[in-house]
Amino acid sequence: MVEKTYRLIYQQTIKLFAGFILATVLVVDCYAQKIPSLISDDETQTFLSNIIKPLFNAAGIPFDANKIFIVNDNSLNAFVSNGNYMFVHTGTLINADNVNEISGVLAHETGHIAGGHIARQKLRIEQLQTLSVASLIVAGAAAATSGRGDAALAVVLGSQSSLLNAMTAYQMQEERSADESAVKYLTHTKQSIQGLKNFMKKIQMHNRLSGYTETPYFRTHPLSLEREEFFNQSLKKHSYPEKTDFDKDFKLIKAKLTAFLLPIERSQAIYPTNDTSTAGLYANAIISYKKNDFQKADEILNQLITQYPLNPYFYELKGQFLFESGRTHLAIKEYEKALQLKPQSKDIMLGWAHASLELPHDKQTLQKIIAVLNRVQLKNPSSTGWLLLARAYDENGQQPYALYCSAQYSLAIGNIETAKKQINQAFTEASESLKLKLADLKNFITQKEENGN
């Protein structure tokens, strides 16, 4: 009975602690843990790059635009991970009132990177894991001595409570540090602290509406009132305008995300049909398309293109709508116009390549498609890119390369066994240079399996 009780306590405690590790290992500002889906949108990622780069420069952090990711999640959240990766939730972008609020949130996350909080979190968790195992040993001894399982349970619960309090207290220090760093970076880049303060108040209100209340126990942030007072004192010392050069861009991005991601009824309430602002027209073009009113969507986009002929994203969106509604010839022309204005855009290149593959094409066009896709995959690989490249190589009679790209695609979507078969098939007819790539990919898969990933 004692052994059974101890085993159950051990299992439950490990589950509890494992869950806590998952919730804290990335220094995240979040309310619910879930598997995220990512959105690729050049317009939004370019905007975020423009906001993050000056903050990283102020913090002395190397900047890489390819390490910015958009998470499709409606919560007010942003977080960072090892390697200076930045993740921004769509909910943050949709709910922010202006660029200054976004800058404040991203300055705070930049503070986590500069402070080395992620590495410290991992070290702290390892230390707490050691203490947790020690508490389990004590629990076992208590149960064995008394013959009562409840004695062991009392020891374990008491120890875990102390451990969790220690962990949350540690994180609170890091949040204070990130706030201080955010103020420093915003001041250095001559941006107002008001946006950070306003967005923290939004989070506080969101918590209340969600039934989440701040208590001194099991929380990873200082009390919002405490943070607000810190920001108030900082605002007295530093005064900069809230307006930025990217306010117009942000209005368009917010309209785009709102129209694509929120239900039609909600997005239409935010951007009614009589909204003739640029952002309102942008949103209504998307809403009309979602309603299957292709003619209306086309009319609105033509109006936007007439007003702003140098905006590549209006052409890209028109190309997407035309392609998805079966008018591929016309779609390619719009993608080509977009590429003339933004030739390095991964999303626009993928859109053009996909549409081009759907139409009859000559050898020269096929080779151009392959060259464009290779350029995309070299800089910023994606599963869609590998799939399109595999198809293009297959049509071009280059089966070993098609199999290599198919293996990359299979690996990207988690189908490791299929990837290994495709690698083995490709080896039989591969050139020496391709064999090196296949060997590297095979070694990567082997290391991945050995590490249990």
pLDDT at residue 175, as a whole number? 79
User: Taking every pair of C-alpha atoms in the chain, what is the biggest distance, in angstroms?
Assistant: 83
Task: Give the C-alpha separation, 109 to 236, whole Å.
Answer: 23
Q: In terms of domains, do 218 and 132 share one?
A: yes
Task: Give the C-alpha separation, 356 to 360, whole Å.
Answer: 8
Q: Does a structural domain hold residue 349? A: no
Q: In terms of domains, do 226 and 109 share one?
A: yes
Q: In terms of domains, do 297 and 217 share one?
A: no
Q: In terms of domains, do 288 and 214 share one?
A: no
Contact 104, 195 (CB under 8 A): yes
Q: In terms of domains, do 219 and 267 share one?
A: no
Q: Does a structural domain hold residue 106? A: yes
* Tens digits of residue pLDDT in 303-360: 999 999 999 999 999 999 999 999 999 999 999 999 999 999 999 999 999 999 999 9
pLDDT at residue 119, as a whole number? 52
Predicted TM-score (pTM) of the model is 0.78
pLDDT at residue 212, as a whole number? 52
Q: Which of 170-174, 438-442, 446-450 has the lowest mean pLDDT?
A: 170-174
* Tens digits of residue pLDDT in 252-277: 999 999 999 999 999 999 999 999 99
Q: Does a structural domain hold residue 329? A: no
Q: Does a structural domain hold residue 267? A: yes
* Average pLDDT, rounded, for the chain: 80
Contact 285, 301 (CB under 8 A): yes
pLDDT at residue 80, as a whole number? 86
* Tokens representing residue 311 in the block: 């905006």
Q: Does a structural domain hold residue 17? A: yes
pLDDT at 378 over 70: yes
Q: In terms of domains, do 7 and 104 share one?
A: yes
Q: Taking Cα atoms as reference points, which of 186, 37, 201, 9 lies closest to residue 103? A: 186
CB atoms inside a 10 Å sphere around CB 268: 20
pLDDT at 89 over 50: yes
Task: Considering only residues 254 and 147, tell me which one the structure prediction assigns the higher pLDDT.
Answer: 254
Compute the average pLDDT of residues 211-230.
55
* Tens digits of residue pLDDT in 402-447: 999 999 999 999 899 999 999 999 999 999 999 999 999 999 999 8
Q: Does a structural domain hold residue 161? A: yes
Task: Considering only residues 15 and 377, tell me which one the structure prediction assigns the higher pLDDT.
Answer: 377
Domain hosting 70: range is: 2-237
Confidence tier at 205 by pLDDT (50, 70, 90): confident
pLDDT at 11 over 50: no
Q: In terms of domains, do 154 and 194 share one?
A: yes
Task: Give the C-alpha separation, 219 to 4, whole Å.
Answer: 33
Cross-strand partners of 38? 71
Q: End of a domain among 176, 203, 237?
A: 237
Long-range contacts formed by 427-435: CB under 8 A, 24+ apart: 428/400, 429/399, 429/400, 430/400, 430/404, 431/400, 434/400, 434/401, 434/404
pLDDT at 236 over 50: yes
Q: End of a domain among 289, 307, 325?
A: 307
Q: In terms of domains, do 8 and 93 share one?
A: yes
Q: Are strands 68-71 and 78-81 parallel, antiparallel or unpaired?
A: unpaired
pLDDT at 115 over 50: yes
Our CA dihedral for 221, 224, 230, 232, rounded to 10 degrees, sits at 150
pLDDT at residue 117, as a whole number? 60
Q: Domain count for the chain, please give it.
A: 2
3-state secondary structure of 28: strand
Q: Does a structural domain hold residue 383? A: no
The single-letter DSSP state of residue 259 is H
Q: Does a structural domain hold residue 451? A: no
Q: In terms of domains, do 15 and 70 share one?
A: yes
pLDDT at residue 450, as a whole number? 79
Residues 6+ apart with CB under 8 A from 253: 43, 44, 47, 93
Q: End of a domain among 250, 273, 307?
A: 307
pLDDT at residue 300, as a whole number? 98
